[in-house]
Amino acid sequence: EVRKFVVDSIMEVVRNYDIDGVHLDDYFYPYPVKGLDFPDEDLYRSSKRNSMETKEEWRRNNINEFIEDLYTSIKSEKRQVKFGISPFAVWRNQDIDPLGSKTKAGVTSYDSLYADTMLWVEKGWLDYIAPQIYWYFGYPAAPYEVVLKWWTDLIQDKNIHLYVGHAAYKVQSSDDPWGNPYEILNQIDYNRNTQNVKGSIFFRAKSLVDNPLSLKENLKTTLYKEPALVPEMPWLKEIEEIIE
């Protein structure tokens, strides 16, 4: 019922407005809080798909069905409307799953938020994905460069664009690398020299407007000195009839 309500609400906008795309943030099941669990035990017991489905699997399947349903609904109505998500950047740690990244993240999208981001990419349920790589180069638990490499490998040869989410909100005077006014500029430059990265998204706009450590000015006078076109998604192009 919840899935249908959310999809129907989004599709009302898709049908009635000339939008370019639908974007979801990283909130699916809530981020974990120590000592608390999401109160869905009764619902799990009454609606699990089979007797062998664990609560963790049931939660992930709930989200997977929602993502697939939303994607197919959008494409059935207006194929040209883009659909993308900006998830928490670590799918799973490699010490838990050999397919995961070489990270030690305390939270992962798969295990903590029940968001199987790898599956969504593999199934082609997205036009783009924008993982929130909100860490600096060499960050012990999740180095920027390591997380980025995992994502570029994942989308290799797939009709999905990779845009990197950058932590503009973390830029401030400090003793850690976020006190370096060029940390994010260096990340963007690194992206541009990395195959499969199509662009950047910043959280949040206010952080750019506030111009911490001259971030906005540095971007405008260097990397973003010239205007750029939105990357094309050839798989979304439709045959257009030109009527004179």
Confidence check: pLDDT of 220 > 90: yes
Q: Are 58 and 65 in contact (CB under 8 A)?
A: no
How many Å apart are CA 94 and CA 229, to the nearest integer? 36
Q: d(Cα 195, Cα 78) in Å, to the nearest integer?
A: 30
**What are the strands, taking DSSP E only, across the chain?**
21-24, 82-85, 128-129, 161-166, 197-202
Cα separation of 241 and 1, whole Å? 40
CA dihedral for 71, 20, 204, 201, sign (positive or negative): positive
pLDDT of amino acid 243: 33
- pTM recorded for the entire structure: 0.94
Asked if residues 100 and 92 have their Cβ atoms less than 8 Å apart, the reply is yes
pLDDT over 90 percentage in the chain: 95
* C-alpha closest to that of 129 among 111, 115, 141: 115
Assign 137 to helix, strand or coil: coil
- Write the pLDDT tens digit of every residue in 81-90: 999 999 999 9
- Grade residue 238 by pLDDT with cuts at 50, 70 and 90: low
Residue 192: C-alpha distances to residues 154, 173, 217 (Å)? 18, 26, 20
Q: What is the mean pLDDT of residues 214-237?
A: 94
pLDDT tens-place string over residues 2-51: 999 999 999 999 999 999 999 999 989 999 999 998 999 999 999 999 99
